[in-house]
Amino acid sequence: MATSETAGSSRTKRLNRTGLEMSSGHSRPSGPHFAISSATMHPLRFEPIIKRLIWGGHRLGSVLRKPIGEGSQYAESWELSDHRADISVVADGPLAGMTLRDLVRYRTEELLGPALAHLRQFPLLVKYIDAEQVLSVQVHPDDERGRRLADDNGKTETWVVIAAEPGSVIYAGLKRGVTRESFAAAIEAGEVEPLLHKIPARAGDCILIPAGVVHAIGAGVMLAEIQQMSDATFRVFDWNRIGTDGKPRQLHVAQALESTDFEIGPVDPIATCPEPIEGGTRERLSHTDYFSLERLRLSGPALIGRDDRFTILMALGGDVVVRTEDESCTLQLGETMLLPASVGPCRVEPLDGSATLMTCIVP
């Protein structure tokens, strides 16, 4: 069983070069897809997949400039996804309309790189999240339990806080000494919060949430999330909230108790230390078997990207121009770019004197 707490999703309309709307089907490219499938690889931007959930807000649009509509409840922007029906589509350039799934399938080594050419699915799901209300208390399974309990991958994730309203918090892990029995009793009694490790939410903080760690994003927090390609989530407590159908939302207590690692305990933000690099500084953020994150604060040009594996760029502050040997393109605040391995290192320059980027590779 897997849940994404989804109330609805939307895509930006995509057109091929003839002006006809294109399908994101899963079969081998044909027609317009086939005609452009051999185009030279270049830095790739994808159409955001917007998720409306009951706890979402409006800052995906007002701050990060995502294509949202009126009102609120715009909770997540899936920037890179190859998960079931949620498949990212190239937004512009000669490969516009191609799906991430097709690029992995038919342009494997060019996209992923020789070090990752054995993969058959894009390995990471990249999101921006805006929590106007607190999220449910939940836990994600590891790889074995993900396959067995949710027919999905496991889910280890990292959060990098972009903005946090005064007094907002993050729940990350259980307090020391909490056992399966005491946690189960707290769930039954509806008194889970006293057992949760609570930390202030501060812009810039990086928090690694391994599979098995109980957690919740507090109200007023907006963040970037890098995770395994999975949507396996088990909800254990939802603050007695009523869903859009007028009923309490479903819990997954048995699966959550089986998935929780009671040995980990509290989780705190990662301590970072800026290191000088060409064009600015680098901070090493989380490093796992699934992803390795760094934050770059640029005041001048820097080389970013590799030729043995892909690199993900997320613009967390300011705009930059990304230059290859043949072209240049702009990456704006709130946008995500995938640098295929075949592109190699790119020259990245802040447009207005300074910019903050997060980079991600698969180790």
Structure letter (DSSP) for residue 82? E
Pairing relationship of beta strands 234-237 and 275-277 according to DSSP bridges: unpaired
**Measured between alpha carbons, how far is 251 from 231 in angstroms, rounded to an integer?**
15
pLDDT for 245 equals 87
- What percentage of the chain has pLDDT greater than the value 70? 90
Stretch 23-48: mean pLDDT, rounded? 65
Structure letter (DSSP) for residue 107? S
Q: pLDDT tens, 312-351?
A: 999 999 999 999 999 999 999 999 999 999 999 999 999 9
3-class DSSP state of 150? helix
Is the pLDDT reported for residue 185 higher than 50? yes
Residue 29's contacts (CB-CB under 8 Å, 6 or more residues apart) are 37, 98, 102, 106
Looking at 218, 234, 259, which one is the last position of a domain?
259
Residues 141 and 56 occupy one common structural domain? yes
- Spatial CA neighbour of 276 closest among 245, 252, 298: 298
User: CB of 349 within 8 A of CB of 300?
Assistant: yes
Stretch 228-243: mean pLDDT, rounded? 95
Torsion from C-alpha of 296, 279, 332, 201, nearest 10 degrees: 30
Residues 291 and 222 occupy one common structural domain? no
Report yes or no on 353 lying in a domain.
yes
Report yes or no on 265 lying in a domain.
no
Residues 303 and 335 occupy one common structural domain? yes
Query: Which residues on neighbouring strands pair with residue 282, listed in sequence order?
Result: 275, 296
Residues 234 and 340 occupy one common structural domain? no
Domain containing 48: what range? 8-259
Looking at 259, 284, 301, which one is the last position of a domain?
259
User: CB of 211 within 8 A of CB of 264?
Assistant: no
pLDDT for 16 equals 32
Residues 70 and 125 occupy one common structural domain? yes
Structure tokens at 96: 């516009």
Residues 252 and 306 occupy one common structural domain? no
**Measured between alpha carbons, how far is 91 from 99 in angstroms, rounded to an integer?**
10
Residues 76 and 223 occupy one common structural domain? yes
Is the pLDDT reported for residue 219 higher than 80? yes
Show the CA angle centred on residue 226, arms to residues 130 and 3, nearest 5°.
65
Please enumerate, as own/partner, the contacts of 179-182 that have beta carbons within 8 Å and a separation of 24 or more.
179/262, 180/257, 180/260, 180/262
Residues 205 and 282 occupy one common structural domain? no
Report yes or no on 85 lying in a domain.
yes
Q: How confident is the model at residue 7 (pLDDT cuts 50, 70, 90)?
A: very low
Q: Which CATH number do you get for residue 224? A: 2.60.120.10
Is the pLDDT reported for residue 268 higher than 90? yes
Q: What is the mean pLDDT of the chain?
A: 91
DSSP-assigned states of every residue in 265-322: ----PPP---EEETTEEEEEEEE-SS-EEEEEEESS-EEE--SSS-EEEEEEES-EEE
Residues 302 and 250 occupy one common structural domain? no
- Spatial CA neighbour of 140 closest among 1, 256, 264: 256
Report yes or no on 39 lying in a domain.
yes
Report yes or no on 212 lying in a domain.
yes
pLDDT for 196 equals 98
Stretch 181-185: mean pLDDT, rounded? 98
Report yes or no on 26 lying in a domain.
yes
Number of domains in the chain: 2
User: CB of 58 within 8 A of CB of 68?
Assistant: yes
Structure letter (DSSP) for residue 261? -
Q: pLDDT tens, 198-213?
A: 999 999 999 999 999 9
- Spatial CA neighbour of 260 closest among 149, 158, 168: 149
Residues 103 and 231 occupy one common structural domain? yes
Looking at 196, 228, 259, which one is the last position of a domain?
259
Q: Is-catalytic flag, 52?
A: no
Report yes or no on 193 lying in a domain.
yes
Residues 255 and 288 occupy one common structural domain? no
Count the neighbouring beta carbons within 10 Å of the beta carbon of residue 98.
27
pTM across the whole model: 0.91
**Measured between alpha carbons, how far is 202 from 166 in angstroms, rounded to an integer?**
9
Stretch 133-155: mean pLDDT, rounded? 98
Residues 352 and 223 occupy one common structural domain? no
**Alpha-carbon distance values, 45 to 21, 90, 210, 229, 247 (Å):** 18, 6, 28, 18, 39
pLDDT for 37 equals 65
- Spatial CA neighbour of 121 closest among 77, 145, 90, 86: 86
pLDDT for 262 equals 98
Is the pLDDT reported for residue 48 higher than 90? yes
Residue 347's contacts (CB-CB under 8 Å, 6 or more residues apart) are 301, 302, 303, 322, 323
Among 52, 145, 235, 309, which one carries the catalytic annotation?
Answer: 235
Between residues 47 and 246, which one has the greater pLDDT? 47
